[in-house]
Amino acid sequence: MRDKPDLVAGAGGMGAPHDAPLLRIEGLSRRFGTLQALQDVSLELWPGEVHCLLGENGAGKSTLCNLVFGVHAPDTGAMVFNGQPWRPRSPAEALSHGIAMVHQHFSLVPDLSVVDNLLLGQASGVLDRKRWAAKLDTMRERYGLALDPWALIQDLSVGERQRVEIVKCLIREPRLLVLDEPTAVLLPEEISALLAVCERVAAQGCGVMLVTHKLAEIRQVARRATVLRGGRVAARSEAPTQEIDLLVRAMIQRDLAEPAAAAPAMPVPMAPVEAGSAVPEPALMADGLSVRDADGVLRLDKFTLMVAPGEIVAVAGVEGNGQSELGAVLSGMLAPTEGRFFLDGNEMTGRPPRVLTQAGCGVVPEDRHALACVTGMSVAENIMLDRLHHFRRFGLLDRAAMKSAAQALMTRFDVRAASPDVAFGGLSGGNQQKAVLARELTLDPLRFLLAAQPTRGLDVGAVEAIYNHIRSAAARGVGVLLISSELDELLSVAHRVVVLYRGRIMGICRADHNERQRIGAWMAGQQEHTA
C-alpha cells in the first residue's frame, strides 16, 4: 500500500528503517442500531507520517478514531498496533500503550482546574500541582498554547478548553497521536505551530492521524490521506498535497463552487436619500459595550461598531478575548455593564432573547447544545421553535403541518436525518448546526444575523453551503456580524474584519487576504492600529 518508508528517528533507533506500519486497520465495520457507521474500512499509518482522514459530517471519521482509541469496539475486522494485535477495551488501555487522542467533543471535568485535568490518569499519591503547572509553561513556550493552570474549566471559553485537550495529549509524548479536528479555535500562528509540532513528532517516529476539513492543513502536513464517505473508503492518496481537488470531489462528490473561495462583493450601496426622507438605519449599532465578570475583570471593553444593511462584518480573534461576551450581549443572554446597542434603529440593550427574535434578530450561538436547541425534542420542533404559533389550530399543535414545513427546510439546508420526528440529540454535530441555521436564517423578518462559530465541525461542502446562505441573507439586506476563529473563512466571506484582543478592538480593516499578516498580529496583541 506504500513505498518503503523513509529513515526516521524514533523508538527503533536514530535513522532505523521502519518496515511495518505502526497501525494497520483491516476491514473494520461498526453498526449503531440501524446505522452502519463504518463498513469494511482498511488503512495503514506508518511511523513518521502525518495521515489525514477526510470526509463529510457523518462519514465515519470520529467512529474510526474511537475504535482505535478504545471508546468502541468493532463488530468485524482487525487492527494491529506496533506489531501486536490491537483491540483496546478502554481509552485508559490505549493511553497506557502510547495512543493519545484529542476528541471532537471535550472530555474535561468542568469543576476542576486546568492543572487538575492534566493530572487525571497521569499522577497518583501526593499531587505536585506546581510541577505540573511548570510543565504548562514549558508547553506554552514550545507550542504557543497559553493556559492559566489554576483556572476552572467551566470558566474557560470553548477555544481555551480545546487548548487544554491538545496540551493533555502533547504532554504525554505519545507513540500514536490522534487529532479529531484540533485547530478550529487557534490563532493562525498557533495553527502553524501545532502543525509543525505534528511534523516534529512524526519525525521522531510517531504516527499522527489528523482528522481535518481544512485544505490548507492537508497541503502543509499530509504525507498521505484517506477519504471516508458513507462509512466506506472512497479514496486514498499517496500525494495529497498535489491531489486536493481529487480529494474534495471524492469527499463531497462534486467540485467546490468557485464563489466560495472568492472575496465577496461589497454591499450594494443604498439608494440616494431624497431631501426630507428618513436615513436608513444601521442593522446594528453598538455604542461602547463593556462587560465585567463576577470578579470585576473587564472582558469586553467599549466595543463600538456599526453594521450596515447587507454588510458582513467579521469579528476575528483567539477565543477568550471577548467574543463570547459580545455574542451574549447581542443575543440578550447578558446585560452589558456599560453601553447600548440598537437593531434597525431600535434600542435592544438588556432586552430578552424573545424580544430580539421578534425584532428580526437571528442568533447562531457558539454553544448550540446549551443555547440553540432542546436535544430531547424532535428535529421539527427545534427548527420551528420560534414559530410554533403558526401551527396552532383550535389550541392544538398541527404536527403534520409543522413536520411538512420542517422537512422543506431540512431539504433546503441539507439537514440529514431519517425524518423530522427523530430526536435532535441523535443528529451529528454538523447536522445539528445546519438545523439551527435553517431556523435562524429563515426568521421572518430577518434584519440582523449574529453568527458565532457557525461552521465549527462542518465539512468543506457544508461550510460552502452555510456561507452561501449567509451571503444570500446579506444580499437581501440583512446585516451580519460573523464571529469565528477561522480567519481564512472570514477573509473569504466578509466585507470588513474587526479584531478583538483582551476585549477591545485592536484594528479594523477590509477583508482582504493581503491583510492576513496584519490581522494575525492584531490577534496576537502585537500592535494597535485602526484602518
- Cell numbers for 490, please give them: 472570514
- Exposure string (b/e) for 454-477, b if CB count within 10 Å is 16 or more? bbbbbbbbbbbbbbebbbebbeeb
**Residue 502: Cβ within 10 Å count:** 14
- Residue 501 CB burial class (10 angstroms; 0-12, 13-18, ≥19): buried
Final residue in a domain of this structure, among 121, 143, 173 = 173
Three-class DSSP labels, 245-262:
HHHHHHHHCCCCCHHHHC
Same domain, 180 and 79: yes
272 within domain boundaries: no
Sign of torsion over alpha carbons 432, 151, 108, 207:
positive
Does 135 reside within a domain?
Answer: yes
Q: Is the pLDDT of residue 277 over 70?
A: no
Q: Same domain for 308 and 457?
A: yes
Q: Indicate the residue type of 446.
A: L
Instruction: For residue range 443-454, list pLDDT tens digits in order.
Output: 888 999 999 988
Q: Which of 264, 158, 212 is nearest to 458 (CA)?
A: 212
Q: How many domains does the chain have?
A: 4
Residue 365 lies in a domain: no
DSSP reduced 3-state for 104: coil
Q: What pLDDT, on the 0 to 100 scale, is given for residue 356?
A: 94
Residue 255 pLDDT: 58
**Who contacts 393 (Cβ-Cβ below 8 Å, separation ≥6)?**
none
pLDDT-derived band at 215, boundaries 50, 70, 90: confident
On whether residue 366 sits in a domain, the answer given is: no
Q: Same domain, yes or no, for 409 and 470?
A: no
Same domain, 386 and 243: no
Cell (9 digits) for 33: 442500531
How far is residue 481's CA from residue 103's CA, in Å, rounded to a whole number?
Answer: 29
pLDDT in tens, 26-50: 999 999 888 789 999 999 999 999 9
Inside any domain, residue 460: yes
Identify whether residues 41 and 181 lie together within a single domain. yes
Q: Are 317 and 284 members of one domain? A: yes
Where is the domain boundary, 157, 173, 189? 173
Do residues 344 and 453 share a domain?
Answer: yes
Domain assignment of residue 195, yes or no: yes
Same domain, 453 and 526: yes
Query: Per-residue confidence at 286, pLDDT binned at 50, 70, 90?
Result: very high
Rounded to 5°, angle at Cα 152 from 300 and 118: 130
Q: Per-residue pLDDT for 62 more than 80?
A: yes
Residues 123 and 180 occupy one common structural domain = no
Q: What residue type is assigned to position 76 of the chain? A: T
pLDDT at residue 201, as a whole number: 84
Residue ranges with strand state E in 124-273? 176-180, 207-211, 224-229, 232-237
Domain residue limits at 418: 376-442
Residue 292 shares a structural domain with residue 424: no
230 pLDDT higher than 80: yes
What percentage of the chain has pLDDT greater than the value 70? 87
pLDDT tens readout for residues 198-210: 888 888 889 999 9
d(CA 166, CA 63): 19
CATH value at residue 212? 3.40.50.300
Whether 273 maps to a domain, the answer reads no
Q: Pick the more confident residue, 352 or 107.
A: 352
**Integer angstrom CA distances of residue 336 from 108, 204, 286:** 29, 50, 11
Q: Are 267 and 317 in contact (CB under 8 A)?
A: no
- 4, pLDDT greater than 80: no
Position 190 scores a pLDDT of: 66
Question: Do 247 and 390 belong together in one domain?
Answer: no
pLDDT in tens, 452-508: 988 876 777 778 888 988 999 999 999 999 998 888 889 999 999 999 998 999 999
Q: Answer yes or no: do 87 and 73 share one domain.
A: yes
**104 domain residue, yes or no:** no
Q: Decide which of 173, 196, 225 is a domain's last residue.
A: 173
Chain mean pLDDT for the chain: 84
- What is the distance in angstroms between the CA of the first residue and the CA of the last residue of the chain? 53
